[in-house]
Amino acid sequence: MKNKILLFLLIISFNSFSQEINLGVSLGTGLSNQTLRTESNFNTSAGMEWNTIGGLPYRVDSYLGYNAGLILEIFFDLSSEQVDEKVIKKKISLKTGINYSSQGVIVEDVNMTRFENNLVYLQIPILLDFKIQKFNFFIGPQIHLLQDFSTVETRSSNLSSNATGQNPDFKFEKRYYLESDPNFVFGIGYEIYDGLSLQMKSLRSVKNITNISGEEWKNKSFELTANFTLNSLL
């Protein structure tokens, strides 16, 4: 009997909000990077922190990638108020879906050997989204599942002056990356047309993504996406 009463109260509270379910698609691009740290050797010189592997310094540059996916949102109307003859609507939503993301990093060792690393992730967001009129702000966790890894190695014929006595022999391989990469996500968006919005978001790894002992690697990226709500076609 108590369970029935509790279920009845939950149904009433759930139906007290005006609900809306949106299904959409997204397509965009992004700049990604990584921090590489040898835990026993955080090199800091003149206020500068170096990226290191095995204690040796590496130069790290951003990688230009892309992303695409499906979006599912459940909206709840919070309130509406009239200001200067305009109705200001406030909504909150739970946003999830599935995204296919190509990201990575460009790494160069002291011998000027460059590695262009591409990591393909399947992303599953669980975000809380606040919307006021055409603007929205979202925040929450996102799980990244590694699907593929590739690297392009380019060797230079000109050795760096720092290469003397240093012979890094490290090769990037998929086996060095963990399959799961939990991220913290936040961003903003703006609806430029009915059903079409632009969003900017920041993504950061919250845990180490490598299984190499004594090393700490983390992903970080910035994405720009165009989101289109399929409901507008119905």
- Give the tens place of pLDDT for each residue, 148-187: 999 999 987 665 555 444 556 788 999 999 999 999 999 9
Q: What is the pLDDT of residue 9?
A: 42
Between residues 19 and 143, the one the model is more confident about = 143
| H or E, element range at 9 | helix 2-15
- Alpha-carbon gap, residue 146 to 171, rounded angstroms: 19
CA distances from 67 to 19, 29, 125, 178 (A): 29, 6, 13, 20
Nearest to 188 by CA among 131, 232, 150, 233: 131
Averaged pLDDT, 199-208: 97
> Do the domain assignments include residue 202?
yes
Structural domain boundaries enclosing 93: 18-233
Which three-class secondary structure state does DSSP give residue 2? helix
Residue 12: inside a domain, yes or no?
Answer: no
Tell me if 6 is assigned to some domain.
Answer: no
123 lies in some domain: yes
Residue 179 lies in a domain: yes
Residue with more model confidence, 144 or 5: 144
The angle subtended at Cα 89 by Cα 83 and Cα 93, nearest 5°, is 155
For residues 75 and 129, give the distance between their C-alpha atoms in angstroms, rounded to a whole number.
9
149 belongs to a structural domain: yes
Q: Where are the beta strands (DSSP E) in 109-234?
A: 114-125, 127-132, 135-154, 180-193, 196-205, 215-229
- Quickly list H helices, 20-179: none
Q: Would strands 114-125 and 127-132 be described as parallel, antiparallel, or unpaired?
A: unpaired
How many C-beta atoms lie closer than 10 Å to residue 218's C-beta? Answer: 18
| In a domain? residue 10 | no
Residue with the bigger pLDDT between 15 and 25: it is: 25
Q: What is the rounded distance in angstroms from the CA atom of residue 49 to the CA atom of residue 37?
A: 9
- Domain annotation covers residue 11: no
- Higher per-residue pLDDT: 94 or 17: 94
More confident residue, 57 or 121: 121
Q: Report the Cα 123 to chain-centroid distance in Å.
A: 8
Q: Would you give the distance in Å from CA 48 to the centre of its chain? A: 26
Per the CB < 8 A criterion, the answer to whether 223 and 28 are in contact is yes
Q: Count up the domains in the chain and report the number.
A: 1
Give the number of C-alpha atoms closer than 13 A to the C-alpha of residue 37, restricted to the C-beta side: 14
Amino acid (one-letter) located at 199: Q
Give pLDDT, residue 215: 94
Query: Phi and psi for 5 in degrees, rounded to 5?
Result: -65, -45
pLDDT for 24: 95
pTM, two decimals, is 0.81
